[in-house]
Amino acid sequence: GAGVSQSPSNKVTEKGKDVELRCDPISGHTALYWYRQSLGQGLEFLIYFQGNSAPDKSGLPSDRFSAERTGGSVSTLTIQRTQQEDSAVYLCASSDQSSYNEQFFGPGTRLTVL
C-alpha cells in the first residue's frame, strides 16, 4: 500500500520568506509526527498529532513554526520568516495505534534557506 508521502521533496527559499511543507500519512494512521534533521545530526522532535489535535508541541523551536492537521489526515508544517538555521530535512512519520509506536517515515523535505 501507499506509504507516507511529503511534498515538496526539495525547497529552496530566501531568508524571510514563509514556507509550507505537506505530509500525507498512511491511510488510517491516527498519530502523525514531524521531525527535523540537520546535516549529520539525529532527529529532533518537533510536534505530534493524535487525530487533529496536537497534545505535544514542545519541540517547536520558535513561534515562527506552526503545524496543523485536518480531517485526521494531511498535515502542514509552516515556517514563517525563514532563517538560515532552519535549513534541514523535515521528516514526517505516521503511526497506527495498534502498532505501538512503530513509526513509518516519509522521504522528507529538504529545505534550504539562502
Partner 1 sequence: RKEVEQDPGPFNVPEGATVAFNCTYSNSASQSFFWYRQDCRKEPKLLMSVYSSGNEDGRFTAQLNRASQYISLLIRDSKLSDSATYLCVVNPAGGFKTIFGAGTRLFVKA
What are the residues binding partner 1 (CB under 8 A)?
Answer: 31, 33, 35, 41-43, 45, 48, 50, 55-56, 91, 95, 100-108
Cβ proximity to partner 1: between 35 and 65 the closer is: 35
Q: Do 26 and 4 form a contact (C-beta atoms < 8 A)? A: yes
State which residue, 82 or 95, has the beta carbon closest to partner 1: 95
**Dihedrals phi, psi of 66, to nearest 5 degrees:** -145, 160
Q: How far is the CB of 62 from partner 1 (least distance, A)?
A: 19
Q: Cα(50)–Cα(32) distance, rounded to whole angstroms?
A: 7
